[in-house]
Amino acid sequence: MDLDLTESESAFRDEARAWLAANVPSEPLPSMDTADGFVAHQEWEQRLADARWAVVSWPEEYHGRGASLVEWVIFEEEYYRAGAPGRVSQNGIFLLSPILFDHGTKEQQDRFLPSMATGEKIWAQCWSEPEAGSDLASLRSTAARDDERGGWVLNGQKTWSSRATYAHWGFGLFRSDPEAERHNGLTYFLFPLDAEGVTVRPIAQLDGEAGFAEVFFDDVFVPDADVLGDPGDGWRVAMSTAGNERGLSLRSPGRFCAAADRLVDLYRERVSTGSTTGADADGVVDAWIKAQAYRLYTWGTVTKLAGGGDIGAAGSVNKVFWSELDIALHETALDLLGPEAEVESRWLDGYTFALSGPIYAGTNEIQRNIVAERILGLPREVRK
């Protein structure tokens, strides 16, 4: 049992650290959920890709480095420590790409992965519907077979689609077999958001920015080439995304360790200026400890995955923990800021974003059900 890096892992860390130190913009980019900020973040993705830092774990033929899971965690740690911009491409590179690698055809991989890696094409997720949130399998948007044109015709409405306001492509589930119920008869589709019949209506989030949108489908034709996995097999295909979203890929420990370190800095600064009496110290200590717990837990997960293991329901344990940690950490920062807390700041942005954590990627209530039923073995809830 050890936490030591190999020589090549250390070299990888040094190389990432040096590149980030030389290239991370000194001023934060404007919000990715504004027109200008979106473009600025796309340009940042291009820079990352040019230096092959955009998708380190992908194969070299798709702008990656074939990095190991350990190296990926190291890169993330360095990325957040350097205060680098948020990833506008995250829906694509973290949620969709694992499915494209596992279930996509070679043609689809060649067509979609390169522009995803460079940030040229940004992807939006289209899961929830007005009547299908936590109960995603009750979704009603339809896909009707069109043999003549060799594809499917989509109708319905998706909502809370992250990045859809400015994104180029979307991915989501549609009911392709009207006779089938719930998890059966769903198909996973990829579609351009400027296709004929698609209407995107931005929704202002709590902070006023259009981080998500409603997407309406009115007889939208999608060719067979843009079906991911087999028709009717969409639920199984999609669930590999859900696991990734809850588990490792969306929330690497680097993010929380860097934020906890900044929180310690903030505390130190507030103490030195006499702005805090030190009554907030417990929150600082607890956030730091939890960030460390998350880092160490992740190394345990990485070791298991490298040994051929599977995250499984433990992704739900993970998701509840990081989402609550993120809020507690930012609440502590706001406590430290005192009456200044309400004033626009990076901490306030982080806090507002953190508030969404217990809701997206499967609410924490759903995650607790999964932990109780699949890990503790408690009886399943009666569901209709």
| Interface residues toward other proteins, by CB under 8 A | 1-6, 9, 70, 264, 267-268, 271, 281-282, 284-286, 288-290, 292-294, 296-297, 299-300, 302-304, 307, 314, 317, 320-321, 365, 367-369, 371-373, 375-382
Quote the CA–CA distance of 371 and 50 in Å, as a whole number.
41
Q: How far apart are CA 233 and CA 235, in angstroms?
A: 6
The minimum distance between CB 218 and other proteins, in angstroms, equals: 38
Q: Which residues are catalytic?
A: 245
Q: How far is the CB of 18 from other proteins (least distance, A)?
A: 21
Instruction: Rank residues 150 and 300 by Cβ distance to other proteins and give the closer one.
Output: 300
In whole angstroms, how far apart are CA 93 and each of 54, 63, 70, 75, 82? Answer: 9, 12, 18, 15, 20
Q: Shortest approach of other proteins to residue 286 CB, angstroms?
A: 7
What backbone phi and psi angles, to 5 degrees, belong to 307? -85, 15
Tokens of 114: 């390169």
Contact 68, 119 (CB under 8 A): no
- The smaller minimum CB distance to other proteins, of residues 145 and 304, is found at 304
Q: In the complex with other proteins, which residue's Cβ is closer, 225 or 289?
A: 289
Residues in the chain: 384
Outline where 307-356 has alpha helix (H). 314-337, 346-355
Contact between 13 and 78 under an 8 Å Cβ cutoff? The reply is: yes
**CB-wise, 310 or 365, nearer to other proteins?**
365
Encoded tokens for 42:
């796309």
Q: Which is nearer to other proteins, 19 or 297 (CB)?
A: 297
The span from the CA of 238 to the CA of 190, in Å, is: 12
Count Cα neighbours of 314 within 13 Å in the Cβ-side half-sphere: 13
The phi, psi pair for 150, rounded to 5°, reads: 75, 60
Shortest Å, Cβ 138 to other proteins: 19
Minimum Å gap between C-beta 31 and other proteins is 31
Which amino acid is located at 84 in the chain? A
